[in-house]
């Protein structure tokens, strides 16, 4: 049987639809993941995912859980499209002329997909992390101000000129109001101060996360999906694709979580009081290990698994249902 030709536009549309649906569903959990990964020892604002989401809603409102979502929703379409379409393309190329698609070839295809996607993933993550983490920084400053001794508070207030203005009364020290940066402002500032390289800060760490993720995810998904396919059918039922995407996604997410922690720390431009700064991947990994212990590399792992599982489950269902092919009329093409 001749190989089916890949319709790249259809793959891109399917990937985009899947990304939009998935991100809308799981973004609050992703925000909790970012904030949990960024908090360092001595600056624990949140104790768990649920604690983070509750405090976020109380201090920033319901839509505070969606800070940074606009960036993700804008860029997740090309990101998810590139990832899924590139993997499909490389698998197609590696299985041409009736060649068997071995596990090694499946891993090579995943490696190619992960490498291609960072073109969009790195700036998307860079902007998203700044927006997601802004609330944590402000809350850290508020708790630090509240913990100061009366003498330290008087010193700060005197420096601000508040004591004389209040006639010697003792007003309370308040952290500055929460900044409300936008993705456009952040992009403009980064381009002005650092050029295009500013948007690609953490590129190496992003590659270190996304390439192994794709190497694990795509072969695992393909084999799980194949196991659930009835012998008489050409394609697995949608629920098999969904479950295979969830299991493969969560397994790959936990496997590369240490790289995700390093990437998140490197891409965060703002720090709380007394938080470490990092000069690169090795410096970041070394300081995390020294100051926070090995368990710090698993911060946000369960949040990331909860994000990735439905995200890729939904993506694979949309992808394999061929919604775009139906929209484009490709299923009626006798040569498809």
Question: How far apart, in whole angstroms, are the C-alpha atoms of residue 267 and residue 197?
Answer: 12
Whether 208 shows a pLDDT value over 90: the answer reads yes
CATH number at residue 53: 1.50.40.10
Please tell me which residue, 5 or 275, carries the higher pLDDT value.
Answer: 275
- Mean pLDDT confidence for 148-165: 53
- DSSP characters over 57-77: HHHH-GGGGGTTHHHHHHHHH
Q: Classify residue 118: in a domain, yes or no.
A: yes
Among the listed residues 226, 235, 176, 216, the one whose alpha carbon sits nearest the alpha carbon of residue 305: 216
N residues, the chain = 336
The whole domain housing 187 covers 8-148+174-332
Q: Classify residue 158: in a domain, yes or no.
A: no
Q: Classify residue 155: in a domain, yes or no.
A: no
Whether 97 shows a pLDDT value over 50: the answer reads yes
Q: Classify residue 2: in a domain, yes or no.
A: no
Q: What is the pLDDT of residue 336?
A: 40
How confident is the model over 173-199, as pLDDT tens digits? 444 444 567 888 888 988 998 888 888
Q: What is the pLDDT of residue 334?
A: 44
- The answer to whether 249 touches 311, Cβ cutoff 8 Å, is yes
Q: Classify residue 156: in a domain, yes or no.
A: no
Sign of CA dihedral 125, 112, 119, 196: positive
Whether 217 shows a pLDDT value over 60: the answer reads yes
How confident is the model over 111-141, as pLDDT tens digits? 999 999 999 999 999 999 988 888 888 777 7
- Mean pLDDT confidence for 234-255: 89
Residue 4 pLDDT grade (very low, low, confident, very high; cuts 50, 70, 90): very low
Task: Look up residue 102 and give its two tokens.
Answer: 């071995």
Q: What is the pLDDT of residue 161?
A: 56
Q: Would you tell me the crossing angle of helices 203-227 and 238-255 to the nearest 10 degrees?
A: 140
Residue 30 pLDDT grade (very low, low, confident, very high; cuts 50, 70, 90): very high
Residue 16 pLDDT grade (very low, low, confident, very high; cuts 50, 70, 90): confident
Residue 52 pLDDT grade (very low, low, confident, very high; cuts 50, 70, 90): very high
- Mean pLDDT confidence for 212-235: 88
Please tell me which residue, 226 or 43, carries the higher pLDDT value.
Answer: 226
Q: What is the pLDDT of residue 152?
A: 54
Q: Classify residue 24: in a domain, yes or no.
A: yes
Residue 42 pLDDT grade (very low, low, confident, very high; cuts 50, 70, 90): low
Q: Classify residue 316: in a domain, yes or no.
A: yes
Among the listed residues 13, 24, 21, the one whose alpha carbon sits nearest the alpha carbon of residue 78: 13
- Mean pLDDT confidence for 46-50: 90
At residue 299's C-alpha, the angle toward residues 295 and 301, to 5°, is 110
Question: How far apart, in whole angstroms, are the C-alpha atoms of residue 284 and residue 265?
Answer: 8
Residue 335 pLDDT grade (very low, low, confident, very high; cuts 50, 70, 90): very low
> What's the number of domains the chain is made of?
1
**Integer Rg of the chain from CA:** 23
- DSSP characters over 89-144: HHHHHHTGGG----HHHHHHHHHHHHHHHHHHHHHHHHHHHHHHHHHHHHHHHHHH
- Mean pLDDT confidence for 200-215: 93
Q: What is the pLDDT of residue 3?
A: 41
Q: Classify residue 325: in a domain, yes or no.
A: yes
Question: How far apart, in whole angstroms, are the C-alpha atoms of residue 301 and residue 37?
Answer: 9
Instruction: Write the CB contacts of 214 (distance below 8 Å, at least 6 apart in sequence).
Output: 83, 87, 110, 111, 113, 114, 117, 252
How confident is the model over 295-331, as pLDDT tens digits? 999 999 999 999 888 888 887 778 777 777 777 775 4
How confident is the model over 245-282, as pLDDT tens digits? 899 999 999 999 999 999 999 998 887 777 888 989 99
């Amino acid at each position: 049987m001749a190989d089916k030709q890949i319709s790249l536009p259809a793959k891109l549309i399917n990937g985009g639809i899947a990304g939009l649906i998935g991100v809308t569903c799981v973004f609050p959990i992703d925000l909790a993941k970012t904030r949990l990964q960024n908090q360092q020892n001595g600056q624990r604002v949140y104790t768990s995912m649920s604690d983070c989401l509750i405090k976020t809603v109380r201090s920033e409102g319901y839509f505070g859980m969606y800070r940074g979502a606009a960036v993700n929703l804008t860029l997740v379409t090309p990101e998810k499209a590139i990832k899924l379409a590139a993997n499909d393309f490389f698998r197609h190329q590696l299985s041409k002329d009736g060649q068997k698609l071995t596990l090694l070839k499946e891993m090579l295809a995943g490696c190619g997909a992960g490498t291609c996607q960072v073109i969009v993933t790195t700036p998307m993550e860079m902007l998203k992390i700044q927006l997601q983490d802004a609330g944590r920084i402000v809350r850290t400053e508020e708790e630090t101000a509240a913990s100061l001794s009366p003498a330290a508070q008087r010193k700060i207030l005197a420096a601000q000129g508040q004591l004389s203005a209040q006639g010697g009364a003792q007003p309370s020290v308040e952290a500055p109001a929460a900044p409300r940066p936008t993705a456009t402002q952040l992009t403009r500032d980064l381009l002005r101060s650092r050029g295009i390289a500013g948007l690609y800060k953490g590129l190496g760490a992003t590659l270190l996360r996304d390439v192994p993720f794709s190497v694990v995810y795509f072969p695992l998904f393909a084999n799980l999906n194949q196991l659930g396919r009835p012998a008489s059918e050409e394609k697995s039922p949608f629920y098999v694709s969904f479950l295979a995407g969830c299991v493969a996604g969560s397994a790959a997410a936990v496997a590369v979580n240490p790289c995700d922690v390093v990437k998140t720390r490197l891409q965060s431009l703002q720090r709380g009081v007394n938080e470490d700064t990092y000069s690169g991947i090795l410096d970041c990994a070394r300081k995390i290990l020294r100051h926070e212990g090995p368990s710090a590399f698993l911060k946000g792992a369960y949040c990331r698994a909860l994000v990735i599982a439905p995200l890729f489950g939904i993506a694979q269902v949309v992808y394999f249902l061929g919604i775009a092919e139906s929209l484009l009329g490709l299923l009626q093409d006798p040569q498809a």
